[in-house]
Structure 1
Amino acid sequence: AWLGITWETAVRRQSEHFAAYGAAIDRLSAQGLVYPSFESRADIARLVREREAGGAWPRDPDGAPLYPGIAKSLSAEARDRLIGQGVPFAVRLDMAAACARAGGLRWQETGQGPAGESGDVAAQPEAWGDVILARKETPTSYHLSVVIDDALQGVTDVVRGVDLFWSTSVHRLLQELLGLPVPAYRHHRLVRDAAGQKLSKSTQAAGLRELRAEGASPADVRRLVGLP
């Protein structure tokens, strides 16, 4: 309320809507666009090191190596056996198949991307590889949750930090595959400290409560992120 932002109630909590995300996974599975992968993070790190011994391995826009595993080639029987044995797994999007199904995708950007991208932007979901959409112990992911939540809540405009600019490519792909409406996007610059470090909870940076206590006004906060 202090910032002059109002929102509809009740507030939607993702932990209360796993069924909706599971239904989306089921729809993608019915199209043959997802598969379970069973490698641990340590397994994946080892596979990446092995592949990098022969040259550079591709990385996503955030700098993380693309999934190098072989789970996509496992037979249905092998997958069922591993799941039946209780082996932890992640549900991944078959990016090549998904992109082939969806075709070229674009979005309308009213802010700016990291290199000044604005207006009609071409999505590049293939740059992310076979992204994780859910895990055995957590039946959703950021990518899946935001597109489902935005659609169910009738969101027309998404405003968020520029560090999520290219994630929009994955979100446009999921919207297309699931038949969801497409909002407009506005990505704003990040709030950084004097050393250029992004302010975030992980670095215990000052939040709105602290900024307000220090005398900042709502206009000051909006200015920090490049909003009018």
Structure 2
Amino acid sequence: MSKPVFRFAPSPNGHLHIGHALSALLNVRAAVALEGRFLVRVEDIDQARCTPELEAGMFEDLAWLGLPLDEPVLRQSEHFPDYRAALERLQDMGLIYSAYLSRAEIKRFVQDTEDSGKPWPRDPDGAPLYPGDTNVLSESELGKRMDSDAPFTLRLDMGKALARVGAGLTWQEAGSEGKALFGPAETVPADASRWGDVVLARKDTPTSYHLAVVIDDARQGITDVLRGQDLYQATSVHRVLQCLLDLPEPRYRHHRLVLGPDGRKLSKSNDDTSLKSLREGGLTLTELRRRIGL
């Protein structure tokens, strides 16, 4: 039986915070406990926000945490052709379509619909499901956008995808901490329909998180995906893509989140306290581990 392979896959689009530290350290702990491997992957799809300076700072944080670095580190920006190839494969199946509505247009349509007393479905993250171009745009306006090379997203037709995959899709959810690491995995139904037609790429970006993560996990031979509870529901989408693209199914483990004083999930975009500032302020690794419950 092959040994398990875990990974920590941060994006260098901001400074890491203590929530990232929890995830990284849990992955290392699990890899050691199960006599497996631990890999670091750089998820730098967003070339505008991901910078060499932020990546260098990220590796400084990981060194301070004492994480082993298995070279070479995989960078998503070096594998854009692979994501394009996967998109083309899904397009050949008739499962991808171009969508031209902007975020503002979607928001306005949903607001108008709900103001009229009709509820609009939302995905597990609370975002409204895509309404479809023809429900919002006139035929002439849609044609104009298509002819003028306007911005667009490439979306997965979830209805067609689920029909192709078939019923009964599941994933295996194992423990993430303590003795639960060694317990049996639970079979969880994968209900991707709740996500609607998810974005898999944009006109100027060759992939999305959903598509890249399943391809990269397969490429690196990841057997165990240990990540935050905020991505638990997204596993349904990932299982659909794995089935469509004939990719292996890893075990999943979703750990608790580190929350801010107001009870919300920590975020780079909210400028939550970074590991860099904590280090520079004199916080020791022992104190950090105690702070995040390790």
Query: Into which bin does the TM-score normalised by the smaller protein fall?
Result: 0.7 to 0.9
Structure 2 spans left out of the alignment, 5+ residues: 1-62, 177-184
Percentage identity across paired residues of the two chains: 55
Task: Identify which range, 180-189 or 198-207, moves more after superposition.
Answer: 198-207
Q: Which residue of 1 aligns with 2:55?
A: none
Which portions of structure 1, spanning 4 or more consecutive aligned residues, are displaced by more than 6 angstroms?
A: 78-81
Q: Which residue of 2 aligns with 1:95?
A: 158
Deviations 1:82-102 (A, max 9, x none): 444211110000000101111
Give 3-state SS (helix, strand or coil) of 2:218's partner: helix
Match of 2:119 among 28, 46, 56: 56
Higher RCO (CA-CA < 8 Å; seq separation 6+) = 2
Matched, 1:198 2:198: no
- Contact kept, 8 Å, 2:133 with 2:142, in 1: the verdict is no
- Provide the C-alpha distance between the structure 2 equivalents of 1:158 and 1:16, rounded to a whole number of angstroms: 22
- Provide the C-alpha distance between the structure 1 equivalents of 2:170 and 2:148, rounded to a whole number of angstroms: 42
Give 3-state SS (helix, strand or coil) of 1:202's partner: coil
User: How well do the aligned residues superpose, as a CA RMSD in angstroms?
Assistant: 2.6
- Provide the C-alpha distance between the structure 1 equivalents of 2:264 and 2:119, rounded to a whole number of angstroms: 28
Q: Which residue of 2 aligns with 1:217?
A: 285
Q: What are the equivalent positions in structure 2 for 1:56-205 lying under 5 Å apart?
A: 56-70=119-133, 82-103=145-166, 104-111=168-175, 119-205=186-272
Deviations 1:8-35 (A, max 9, x none): 3222222222111110100000111110
- Provide the C-alpha distance between the structure 2 equivalents of 1:159 and 1:50, rounded to a whole number of angstroms: 40
> Which amino acid in the other structure matches residue 171 of structure 2?
W
> Which amino acid in the other structure matches residue 148 of structure 1?
I
- Provide the C-alpha distance between the structure 2 equivalents of 1:155 and 1:181, rounded to a whole number of angstroms: 9
- Provide the C-alpha distance between the structure 1 equivalents of 2:106 and 2:84, rounded to a whole number of angstroms: 25
Match of 1:14 among 76, 91, 115: 76
- Normalising by structure 1, we get a TM-score of 0.85
- Contact kept, 8 Å, 2:101 with 2:133, in 1: the verdict is no
Q: CA deviation at 1:43?
A: 1.5
> Which amino acid in the other structure matches residue 16 of structure 1?
E
Give 3-state SS (helix, strand or coil) of 1:64's partner: coil
- The verdict on how the C-alpha distance between 1:108 and 1:159 changes in structure 2, with shifts beyond 3 A counting, is same
Q: Which residue of 2 aligns with 1:24?
A: 86
Q: CA deviation at 1:64?
A: 0.6
Q: Which residue of 2 aligns with 1:115?
A: none
- Provide the C-alpha distance between the structure 2 equivalents of 1:81 and 1:19, rounded to a whole number of angstroms: 29
Structure 1 spans left out of the alignment, 5+ residues: 113-117
> Which amino acid in the other structure matches residue 242 of structure 2?
Q
- Provide the C-alpha distance between the structure 2 equivalents of 1:158 and 1:222, rounded to a whole number of angstroms: 24
How many aligned positions are there?
Answer: 217
- The verdict on how the C-alpha distance between 1:145 and 1:23 changes in structure 2, with shifts beyond 3 A counting, is same
- Contact kept, 8 Å, 1:36 with 1:79, in 2: the verdict is no
- The verdict on how the C-alpha distance between 1:200 and 1:139 changes in structure 2, with shifts beyond 3 A counting, is same
- Normalising by structure 2, we get a TM-score of 0.67
